[in-house]
A = this chain, B = another copy of it.
């Protein structure tokens, strides 16, 4: 390993370096709107997506995968069955799995379902502030899929989820927040164009899964932080090349492939132990 740990102890480069070397298999059980862009983001960044999301295949796939993403954006009956199967198989085999609580708070069915999944101990949770607050049991504030409240407003909720589930909890916003039991990080940067692109948050959840799988040495917090730093770096580069949301999406995939481990090591993050 030629990566340099950051002085503050969060190794952002190591997980990316390992992802590029090993191309971890990331099983995605995600919503119907973003399957394609999620798979492309994983492929661009260096992971290998497998989108097996049906009852009868989900557990077999999870047992072979390096990480599992569960995104509840369109939680159809069969999807929920498959997600339960995948999560149980992941837990049984010690495979890390990530929960993305899309739309939780705004819609009742998925809110109950996502909260129920918490018992199976995700390695990480990623959402916007209103989703994280609702997942932690606070009264709903969002109107569905976009973030309508401030990242910092979700800090108590993120801490509670981290304490009660053991997960690393990430709150996406203008400045991302990563909350683990032992420390808290803030990851600045990124581009507002990501909010004009469907699947911007959902693909980040998939990269969180991929990089947590590659963060055995550095720990899951480093994996979660590396995913957010990769997103920030790639979206800033893409913004510099874009004329609008269409060309941003294209440039963003290019940049996900182009960002190197050393680029992440050079990015600023704030750490509070």
Q: Which A residues contact B (CB, under 8 angstroms)?
A: 25, 31-37, 39-40, 43-44, 48-54, 56-57, 60-61, 64, 73-78, 103, 106-110, 143-146, 195-199, 242-247, 249-258
| Closest partner residue, chain B, to A56 (CB atom) | B109
**Chain B residues within an 8 Å CB radius of A251:** 246-247
**Chain B residues within an 8 Å CB radius of A25:** 143-144
**Chain B residues within an 8 Å CB radius of A39:** 33, 198
**Chain B residues within an 8 Å CB radius of A249:** 40, 246, 250, 253
User: Shortest Cβ distance from A222 into chain B, in angstroms?
Assistant: 25
**Chain B residues within an 8 Å CB radius of A44:** 196, 244-246
Contact of A36 (CB < 8 Å), options: B34, B108, B196, B258: B34
Q: A244-B254, A246-B253 are in contact. List 19 more A-B contacts (CB 8 A).
A: A32-B32, A32-B53, A40-B198, A43-B198, A44-B196, A44-B244, A48-B143, A49-B198, A57-B108, A61-B144, A64-B106, A64-B143, A64-B144, A76-B78, A244-B255, A246-B250, A246-B252, A246-B254, A249-B250
Task: Please report the C-alpha to C-alpha distance between residue A145 and residue B53 in the assembled complex, in whole angstroms.
Answer: 14
Q: How many copies does the complex hold?
A: 3
B197 and A145 within 8 A (CB) = no
Knowing A43-B196, A57-B107, A103-B52 touch, does A253 contact B258 (C-beta < 8 A)? no
Task: Please report the C-alpha to C-alpha distance between residue A265 and residue B60 in the assembled complex, in whole angstroms.
Answer: 45
Knowing A144-B64, A197-B40, A252-B246 touch, does A51 contact B73 (C-beta < 8 A)? yes
Most chain B CB atoms below 10 A, which of A103, A145, A250: A250
Task: Please report the C-alpha to C-alpha distance between residue A106 and residue B60 in the assembled complex, in whole angstroms.
Answer: 9
| Closest partner residue, chain B, to A77 (CB atom) | B78
B110 and A36 within 8 A (CB) = no
User: Shortest Cβ distance from A23 into chain B, in angstroms?
Assistant: 8
| Closest partner residue, chain B, to A246 (CB atom) | B253
**Chain B residues within an 8 Å CB radius of A33:** 35-36, 39, 51
A36 and B246 within 8 A (CB) = no
A253 and B244 within 8 A (CB) = yes
A50 and B244 within 8 A (CB) = no
Contact of A53 (CB < 8 Å), options: B34, B40, B74: B74
Knowing A244-B257, A254-B247, A257-B244 touch, does A75 contact B54 (C-beta < 8 A)? yes
Task: Please report the C-alpha to C-alpha distance between residue A250 and residue B249 in the assembled complex, in whole angstroms.
Answer: 8
Knowing A31-B51, A33-B36, A245-B257 touch, does A109 contact B57 (C-beta < 8 A)? yes
Knowing A44-B244, A249-B253 touch, does A54 contact B35 (C-beta < 8 A)? no
